[in-house]
Structure 1
C-alpha cells in the first residue's frame, strides 16, 4: 500500500526524536566517562601511579659493612674480608638434584649444608636464591663461572664476612659473630629489617655483641623491577648503606700476644691496667679458642672438645672466673684496720703459727710461726695470724666496706660477656643469702681472702690500681668510637688516708725487693722499673687435722684440679706508678712460684713496650729469658693459624 506524504512526515519525526534521545544518552555516557577519566588521571593520578609502581617495583635491602675493631695502636683485630658463596635459584635450576650433582664435581660441598639448603628451598619462593656453599675459594668461584651454561640457576656471589686475624688472643675480649637466630631477634621489640637478611652476621659475645647496634651500621636499598611471578628483571636504582662505627680498644696487641705466649699451656689469666685513664692494656685468658671457627660454623667435634676441656677455654677467666683472692686480700684487711684506728705501723702481733678462736685453731702458712709481726713484716712475709687478729678487732662489715671501696664485689663496666660481681660478704649478705648469722670464724677466714670471698682478676687489677694511685680508677676497654675518644676513667681521690696508703705500698715494695719477701725471686733489677706486689695462694680443698698432723700434701703430688691457685698483684714503677697487673694461675700451686714470675715478665714487657733488656732481670733468670724472647720472636713471625696448629 502506498504511503501518504503525511505518514512519511510522521515517520521522519519519530526517527529524529529517537535519534536525539539515543544521541543524548551517548553524550551523557561520554560525559560521565570523561569525568571519570579526569578524576582517575588528574585528581587521583598520583595515587594510582604509586599503586602501579608498587606492583612493578620491589625495594630490597643491601647489608651494610660492619664496623672494624682496632687496638690502641691502630692494629686491626676484627676485620671484614670478601667471602665468596654459591647460590641456587630453584625455578631456574630445572632438575635440582642433577644440577647440584654437577656442581659437586666442581666444588666441594658439605652434605649437611646441601640438606639444609634443599630444605630452605622447599619453604622459600622458587625465585629466591639459597646459599649451598659459603666461604668458597676464588678458584671454586672461577670454575663455577666458567661452567655457567651447564649449571642453570647456579650463581657465584661475593659479600663481606668477619675475620679475626689474631685468632685466639682476642677471642674472649672481642668475641665473634654468627648468623642471626630467632633468639637474637627476640632481644628486640621491633627488629631492624636487615637482621632478617639470610645469613646476616650478628655479634654473639664480647665487644661484638655489646656494641652490636653501633657496629652493624644502616642497611642500603635498591629498587628492582620484577615480573608478575616476582622474578627480578632489572635494577632501577641503588642507595648504599651506612657502614657501622669503627671501634678502637685500649688493648695493645703486642702485649696481649706476649701474655698468651708467656702463659703457654697454663690455665690462667692476666689483666694489665694503665693508671692514668684506667685503660686495659691487656686482658688475657688462657687457653683460648679460634673465633673464626664460630664465624664459619664450628663442627660438633670441635665444639665438644672445647666444652669438654677441663681448662675451660670458652670461659673468659678475667671477668667470669671467680677465685678466693688468698693473701692478695690482706691489703684490704690491713687498710680497714688502719682506717678504723685499730692498728699502726709500729703495733705488733705475736704469731706462734696459729690462732685459737673458741675450740678451733686457724693456722698460719708457716707452721712454726713468724714471731712478732708488725704491719710491714706481716705483708712482706704474708703472716696469716697478724691478719686474723686485725680482722677480729675491726670486724667483717668494715673489711667488706673497704673491699667494695677498692673495687671488689662490684660489676665493672667493660663490654665483655657475663661480667660478674663476685662476693664481698658481710653480715647482711649471709643473712640474705643463707638465712644464717655471721660467725667469728667466718671473719677469720675472710681476713686472708678465703671463706666466702670471691674475686675476679679484673677486680684484683682495679684494687691494685686504686692502692697505687689513691683514686677511684675504673677499667676502660673502648678508647674511641669513630675517632671520638671515650671519657677517661682515671677517677677522683678515693678518700683514704694517704699515710695509710704509703705504709701499704712500702710493705708491697718489700714483698718483691726485700730478701725475706715472698716474691723476692721474681723481683725487677732495673732500679727505675721496680715493682710493688703481693703474692697469694688460695686453697680449693679442705685440709683435715689428720693431714696437718702427718704433713700437708704438696701441690705437685695432687691431681691438677685439686692444687691451689697461684695469684700475684703488683704495680710499677714503685716511685711513679704507670701500670697495675693481676695474675691468676689456676691450680698453679702457689703465688710466689707460679704467678709472680709471669707477672714480673708481663710488667717489664708493658713498661718497656717490647722486649726488655735482660739486665732488668735477676742473674739467675737471664738465660731463660733470652730463650723465651727468642721463641717469642719466632712466634711473631708465624701466621695466627700456624700458631694455633702448633699449640
Structure 2
C-alpha cells in the first residue's frame, strides 16, 4: 500500500535535518582539529623545534687526573683527593638564577657565590658545566643528588682536587695549583679546551707550573642524552682521558723536612746537593706557607698576613734570593788569581788591617790585621786585605769569568719560579748598566763578594760542588717522569788544574778544622764525616768613618733589617766529597755563628741518614746538641717526617 505523499515529505525533512546536524558537527570537528594543527605546526613551531633540539646528545669534557709528585724514595708530595661538588649548565637550567635560589635551600650559597656563577654562565658556552660549589660534605652532596629532578641543569659531580700532604715543606719547590686566569691564557695561541672550564686548576708556581705540560694530562669526553629541561637521560658513550705523568723529584722528603725544621722561623734558606750527579737533595726556604690554602681559595686575611710578614714567606729564597756572597766568594778570586799566574801557594801579603787606595781605606774585618798571610791562611782566617791585593793584579773580568765557570752569574735551568741570574760584574756590564767606567775600588769590593756581586743560595751550592769535584756539576730536580729516569750526562772537567783546586780545598778544610779557622766551632768530630767550608758575612749597610773610630755597632744592637747576612758553604766528607751545602740566614749576623752550625747539622743528617748522633760533635758541645736534637724530635716525633695525611 502506497504511503501518503505527506508522510514521505515529513520523512525527507527529518533526514535532511539530521544530515545537516551531522555535517555541521563534522565540520566543526575538522575546524577545531585544523586550528590546533595550525597552532602546533605554525604558531608554536619554533618552541617545539627548540624542545626537540634540546632533547639531544651533548658532549662533555672529562678533566684528566693530574699526575702525582713524589720524592726520590716515592713518598707523596702532591696528590689528588675526592672532591664532592655541584655544577650547572645554562642550556639545561634555563632560568639559572631561579635554579640557584632553589639550590641555596639545600647547600649554603652566598650572594657572592651566585653572582660568580651567573658571571661565569654568561662568559661561557651554554653547554659548559659551571662549578657552583665544591668541597661539599657527604650530607650536602646527598641532598642535592636526591633533589636533582627538581633542579634542571644541576649535576652532582665527584672530581679530584690537589692536596699537599706535607704542608709547608715543599711549598716553594712544588708550588701549588689554582683556577685558570686570563693572565694564564695570555700568549697561548690555541689553549687547551680544558683551560676554558671555569675553576679548572693549573700550576701557578714551582714544579706545578713549570712541568704543567706533563702533569696535566689529556681530557676525555662523554656523550650524554639530555631532555628539554637539561636533565641527563642516559650516558651513550664514554672515552676516558689520559692521566698526567707522575714526577719523581731528586729531593729526599725526610732531609727536606729536617732542614725546614732546623731553619725554624729564621728568614733563611738552605740547599743540599749531591756533588756526583747534581741531584738536589733539599731546597728549603724559611719561613714557609701552606700551599693547601691557595688550592682551596685563600682568604684575604690569611693572604695579607703572608704579604705583610717582613721575613717574606712567599719568596723562594733558594733561587730568588740574590745576596752579596761575602767571603764565600774568596775561592773564586783565589782560583782566578792562580789561573792568571798572579798568585801561587807561596805568595804572601801583609795585612795591617786595611788597604789604602785612592785616598780611601778598605778595611779588613780584623781591626788589628792578620800580619803576613798566604793563601791557606787567608781562607782559614778570612783575611780581606789578601784579596784586595791580588784582585788588583787579576782584574774584574778574569774574576767574573772564573765565577761563571763555577756556576755563578747564570740562570740554572730548573722547574722553579723566578730563578735569578745573580750578578757577576764586568767593566762592560757597568758601562752598559750605569754608563760609568769601572774603578779599581769596584774590583777591591768585588774581590770579597761585596759591591755589585750577587748570588743565590743555589748558585753558591753549585759553586761549592764544582770546587769540590773540579767538574761542571749541573743541578737537577726531576729524577724520573712516569718511572723513566732522566738521563744525567757525566759532568765535564772545569779545566782548572787540580793543584789549584787542592790549594783552595786545603784552605776550606782549615776554615773548619784548624784552631785558627773562622768556623772551628762548627767542626765535626767524627773523622769520616769532617767537612770543609767557608763562612761569609755580607754587609747590608755602610759603616761610617766615625763609627769605625768609636766602635762598630754590634749586629745584635741593630734593628733586624740592618744586620749583616750570614752565609756558609761546605762539602763533606772533606777527603771524599759527596754532598755540598749552602746556607744563607738573612740578617743573621756572622756566617760562622749563624749559618755554619746549620750547615754542619744538615750535612750530618744527609751523611748518616737519620738525626745526627751527638757523638759526631765536639765533646764540649754534645750536651747542647742533645738538647737541640730533642727539641727537633718534639717537633717531629718520628725523627724524620711529620705524620702523613691520608690522600
TM-score when normalising by structure 2: 0.87
Residue in 2 that maps onto 1:209: 209
Shift in Å, 1:139: 3.5
Change (3 A) 1:628 1:493: same
Q: Is the 8 A contact 2:353 2:367 kept in 1?
A: yes
Shift in Å, 1:186: 2.0
- Helix, strand or coil at the partner of 2:134: strand
1:86-110 deviation digits (Å, cap 9, x = unpaired): 2345687798777656655654444
Change (3 A) 1:54 1:223: farther
Residue in 1 that maps onto 2:584: 584
Change (3 A) 1:53 1:339: farther
Residue in 2 that maps onto 1:285: 285
Residue in 2 that maps onto 1:503: 503
Aligned equivalents of 2:79 and 2:465: distance in 1? 32
1:151-300 to structure 2, matched below 5 A, reads: 154-227=154-227, 232-300=232-300
Shift in Å, 1:183: 1.7
Change (3 A) 1:186 1:91: closer
Shift in Å, 1:306: 1.3
Residue in 1 that maps onto 2:13: none
Q: Is the 8 A contact 1:472 1:490 kept in 2?
A: no
Is residue 610 of structure 1 aligned with residue 610 of structure 2?
yes
Change (3 A) 1:490 1:587: farther
Aligned equivalents of 1:226 and 1:87: distance in 2? 15
Residue in 1 that maps onto 2:47: none
Shift in Å, 1:300: 1.4
Q: Is the 8 A contact 1:347 1:375 kept in 2?
A: yes
Residue in 2 that maps onto 1:530: 530
1:53-99 deviation digits (Å, cap 9, x = unpaired): 99943332211111111100000101011111123456877987776
Change (3 A) 1:638 1:168: farther
Residue in 2 that maps onto 1:423: 423
State the Cα RMSD in Å: 2.6
1:96-495 to structure 2, matched below 5 A, reads: 103-104=103-104, 107-121=107-121, 129-145=129-145, 154-227=154-227, 232-488=232-488, 490-495=490-495
Residue in 2 that maps onto 1:542: 542
- Helix, strand or coil at the partner of 2:506: helix
Change (3 A) 1:104 1:642: farther
Shift in Å, 1:485: 1.0
- Helix, strand or coil at the partner of 1:269: strand
Structure 2: unaligned runs, 5 residues or longer: 1-51
Aligned equivalents of 1:641 and 1:480: distance in 2? 22
Shift in Å, 1:157: 1.7
1:329-352 deviation digits (Å, cap 9, x = unpaired): 000111111111112112210000
Aligned equivalents of 2:489 and 2:624: distance in 1? 38
Q: Is the 8 A contact 2:376 2:504 kept in 1?
A: yes
Aligned equivalents of 1:395 and 1:93: distance in 2? 74
Q: Is the 8 A contact 1:318 1:457 kept in 2?
A: yes
Q: Is the 8 A contact 1:475 1:489 kept in 2?
A: no
1:386-412 deviation digits (Å, cap 9, x = unpaired): 010010111111111111110110010
Aligned equivalents of 1:219 and 1:557: distance in 2? 60
Aligned equivalents of 1:299 and 1:638: distance in 2? 33
- Helix, strand or coil at the partner of 1:411: coil
Is residue 593 of structure 1 aligned with residue 589 of structure 2?
no
- Helix, strand or coil at the partner of 1:449: coil
1:448-504 deviation digits (Å, cap 9, x = unpaired): 000000000000000000000000001000011111111215511110010110111
Q: Is the 8 A contact 2:532 2:570 kept in 1?
A: yes
Residue in 1 that maps onto 2:622: 622
Shift in Å, 1:447: 0.4
Q: Is the 8 A contact 1:275 1:490 kept in 2?
A: no
Q: Is the 8 A contact 1:256 1:282 kept in 2?
A: yes
Residue in 2 that maps onto 1:568: 568
Shift in Å, 1:121: 4.1
Aligned equivalents of 1:95 and 1:458: distance in 2? 56
Change (3 A) 1:126 1:578: closer
Aligned equivalents of 1:148 and 1:223: distance in 2? 20
Shift in Å, 1:420: 1.1
Residue in 1 that maps onto 2:81: 81
1:417-474 deviation digits (Å, cap 9, x = unpaired): 1111010001111111111111000000000000000000000000000000000001
Aligned equivalents of 1:392 and 1:541: distance in 2? 24
Q: Is the 8 A contact 2:55 2:227 kept in 1?
A: no
Shift in Å, 1:289: 1.1
TM-score when normalising by structure 1: 0.87
Shift in Å, 1:129: 4.5
Change (3 A) 1:61 1:86: closer
Which range moves more in the overlay, 359-368 or 97-106? 97-106
Aligned equivalents of 2:641 and 2:346: distance in 1? 57
Aligned equivalents of 1:622 and 1:109: distance in 2? 59
Q: Is the 8 A contact 1:465 1:580 kept in 2?
A: yes
Change (3 A) 1:445 1:53: same
Change (3 A) 1:367 1:91: same
1:303-338 deviation digits (Å, cap 9, x = unpaired): 122111111111110111000000000001111111
- Helix, strand or coil at the partner of 1:417: coil
Q: Is the 8 A contact 2:128 2:197 kept in 1?
A: no
Shift in Å, 1:148: 5.4
Change (3 A) 1:436 1:638: same
Change (3 A) 1:469 1:125: closer
